[in-house]
Structure 1
Amino acid sequence: MLLACASLAGCITQQPVPMYRLDTGAVEVPAKSDGASVLLGPIKLADYLQRDALLQRLPDGSLGEEAQHARWAGSLKGDIDQVLLRQLAGQLQTQSLELSPGAKGFVPDVQIELEITRLDSGPQHPAVLEAQWRLLDKQGKRLGSRLVRLQEEHAGTTTDQVRAQSLLLQRLSEMMAGAVEPMLVAKAPAKRSPAKAPRAPEPSAPAIPAVEPIRTDLEVFRF
Structure 2
Amino acid sequence: MLRRLSVLAGLLLCAVVAGCTSQPSNFYILSAPVSASTEAVQTTRRRGPLIGVGPITMPQYLDRTEIVTRDTATSVNVNEQNRWGGGLTENFQNVLAEVLSEQLRTDRLFLYPWTTSGDMTYQITVQVNAFEARPDGQVVLDARWTVLSGGTQEVITMGRTLLREPVSTAPTGVSGPDYTRIAAAMSRSVARLAQEIAASGLRS
TM bracket (short chain): 0.7 to 0.9
Q: Counterpart in 1 of 2:25?
A: 17
1:7 Cα deviation from its structure 2 partner: 2.1
Q: Counterpart in 2 of 1:215?
A: none
1:18 Cα deviation from its structure 2 partner: 1.6
User: What is the alpha-carbon distance in structure 2 between the residues aligned to residue 145 and residue 5 of structure 1?
Assistant: 60
User: What is the alpha-carbon distance in structure 1 between the residues aligned to residue 61 and residue 129 of structure 2?
Assistant: 9
Is the aligned partner of 1:64 residue 2:77? yes
Q: Counterpart in 1 of 2:146?
A: 134
Structure 2: tracts of 5 or more residues without a match: 1-8, 170-176
TM-score, structure 2 as length reference: 0.80
- What CA deviation, in whole Å up to 9, does each residue of 1:115-174 have, x standing for no partner? 111100145441000001111112111111111100011134222111111110000011
Q: Counterpart in 1 of 2:172?
A: none
Larger displacement relative to structure 2 (81-90 or 154-163): 154-163
Which one-letter code corresponds to 2:34 in the other structure? A
The higher relative CO (CA closer than 8 Å, separation ≥ 6) is in 2
User: What is the alpha-carbon distance in structure 2 between the residues aligned to residue 152 and residue 128 of structure 1?
Assistant: 7
User: What is the alpha-carbon distance in structure 2 between the residues aligned to residue 46 and residue 59 of structure 1?
Assistant: 17
Between structures 1 and 2, the one with greater strand share = 2
1:179 Cα deviation from its structure 2 partner: 1.6
Q: Counterpart in 2 of 1:174?
A: 195
2:45 corresponds to which of 28, 32, 37: 32
**Residues 38, 110 of structure 1: 8 Å contact kept:** yes
User: What is the alpha-carbon distance in structure 2 between the residues aligned to residue 176 and residue 54 of structure 1?
Assistant: 26
1:59 Cα deviation from its structure 2 partner: 4.5
1:115 corresponds to which of 102, 127, 130: 127
Is the aligned partner of 1:102 residue 2:114? yes
Larger displacement relative to structure 2 (147-156 or 26-35): 26-35
Which structure: larger Rg?
1
Give identity over the alignment, percent.
Answer: 25
User: What is the alpha-carbon distance in structure 1 between the residues aligned to residue 122 and residue 90 of structure 2?
Assistant: 22
Change (3 A) 1:26 1:10: same
Larger displacement relative to structure 2 (32-41 or 57-66): 57-66
User: What is the alpha-carbon distance in structure 2 between the residues aligned to residue 164 and residue 174 of structure 1?
Assistant: 15
Change (3 A) 1:17 1:106: same
Structure 1: tracts of 5 or more residues without a match: 186-223
Q: Counterpart in 2 of 1:211?
A: none
**Residues 43, 114 of structure 1: 8 Å contact kept:** yes
Classify the secondary structure of the residue corresponding to 2:142.
strand
2:156 corresponds to which of 143, 147, 156: 143
Q: Counterpart in 1 of 2:93?
A: 81
The count of residues paired between Structure 1 and Structure 2 equals 182
Which one-letter code corresponds to 2:131 in the other structure? L
Q: CA RMSD in A?
A: 2.0
User: What is the alpha-carbon distance in structure 2 between the residues aligned to residue 32 and residue 110 of structure 1?
Assistant: 16
